[in-house]
C-alpha cells in the first residue's frame, strides 16, 4: 500500500509539470472494465482507482485554423499562430461495487488548468454513455459526449468502440511586436468515431493491478469543415 500511495503522489506531481488545454481523458470509462478475473477464484469488482498520469492531444493543420480566423476576423492583420493542445492530468476514479452501472472521475491538471470531471453510465447490456467537461484558466468550458459498446472486458484486454460529440475551445495566438501575445478565441463542434483499448495483467485475487489505457478517434470538425485525429494514453492502478 505505501508503494501505491507513492505512485499516486508521483503521478500528481508529474501532472503539474506541463500545460493543459485539451479535453481531459474521461477515466470514468474504467467502469466498463471494473470486473476483475483473478488467477484463481471468483471474479470481483474494483472500487476506487487512480490514473497516475493521463495525456491526450488532437492534431490540427495550423493553416485550417488560421484560414478560419482570417475569414471570420478580417480586421485582424497581425500574425496568427496556433499550437495543438496537450492535456496532462492525474485522475481520481470512483467506482462502486454495489452500483456497477456508473463511474465518476475527477481530472486534476497543472495548477488546476485543464481540470474537469466526467461520468460513465451503463445504459443497457454492454452499451455505455460518457459525459465529460472541463475548464482551464485560458480556456472556456469544453465538453464531450461518448456513446460506445464494450467488446472485451479487460481481462487482460479491454476494447470499446463508439461515437463522440465534442465542443472544443480554440485558442489562437496573435503576435504583437514588443508586447508579447494577444488572443482570438472561439468554439468549434465536431463528431467522430472513437475506440478505447486497455491492457491489464491478471493478478491474484484482491491485489491492485496496473493498467494501460489508450484512446483514439478520427473526427470531423463541423465548424472548420476539416478532419483531425485525437489520441490519448493513461497509466494507472485499480
Note down pLDDT in tens along the chain; length 238 residues: 445 544 444 444 444 444 445 789 999 999 999 988 888 888 889 888 999 999 998 888 888 888 888 888 887 777 777 777 788 899 999 998 888 899 999 999 887 677 899 999 999 999 999 999 987 656 678 899 999 999 999 999 999 999 999 998 877 665 555 445 667 788 899 999 999 999 998 888 878 899 999 999 999 999 999 999 999 999 999 9
Rounded alpha-carbon distances, angstroms, from residue 212 to 24, 51, 124, 179, 197: 16, 9, 26, 44, 8
Pick the closest to residue 17 from 137, 110, 140, 155 (CA basis): 110
Give the chain's domain count.
Answer: 1
- The secondary element (H helix, E strand) that includes residue 71 is helix 62-72
d(CA 147, CA 71): 34
Range of the domain at 98: 2-237
Strands 142-153 and 157-176: antiparallel
Phi and psi angles of residue 107, each rounded to the nearest 5 degrees, phi first: -100, 130
Amino acid at each position: 500500500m505505501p508503494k501505491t500511495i507513492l505512485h499516486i503522489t508521483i503521478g500528481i506531481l508529474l501532472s503539474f509539470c506541463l500545460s493543459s488545454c485539451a479535453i481531459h481523458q474521461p477515466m470514468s470509462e474504467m467502469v466498463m472494465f471494473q470486473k476483475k478475473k483473478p488467477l484463481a477464484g471468483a471474479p470481483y469488482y474494483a472500487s476506487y482507482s487512480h490514473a497516475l498520469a493521463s495525456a491526450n492531444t488532437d492534431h490540427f493543420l495550423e493553416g485550417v485554423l488560421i484560414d478560419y480566423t482570417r475569414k471570420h476576423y478580417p480586421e485582424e492583420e497581425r500574425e496568427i499562430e496556433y499550437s495543438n493542445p496537450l492535456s496532462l492530468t492525474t485522475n481520481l476514479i470512483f467506482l462502486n461495487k454495489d452500483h456497477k452501472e456508473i463511474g465518476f472521475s475527477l481530472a486534476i491538471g497543472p495548477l488546476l488548468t485543464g481540470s474537469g470531471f466526467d461520468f460513465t453510465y451503463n445504459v443497457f447490456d454492454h452499451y455505455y454513455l460518457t459525459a465529460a467537461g472541463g475548464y482551464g484558466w485560458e480556456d472556456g468550458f469544453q465538453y464531450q459526449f461518448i456513446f460506445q459498446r464494450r467488446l472485451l472486458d479487460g481481462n487482460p484486454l479491454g476494447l470499446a468502440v463508439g461515437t463522440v460529440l465534442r465542443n472544443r475551445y480554440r485558442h489562437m495566438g496573435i503576435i504583437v511586436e514588443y508586447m508579447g501575445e494577444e488572443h482570438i478565441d472561439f468554439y468549434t463542434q465536431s463528431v467522430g468515431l472513437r475506440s478505447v483499448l486497455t491492457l491489464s495483467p491478471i493478478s491474484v485475487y484482491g491485489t491492485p493491478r496496473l493498467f494501460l489505457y489508450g484512446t483514439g478517434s478520427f473526427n470531423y470538425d463541423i465548424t472548420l469543415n476539416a478532419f483531425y485525429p485525437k489520441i490519448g494514453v493513461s497509466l494507472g492502478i485499480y
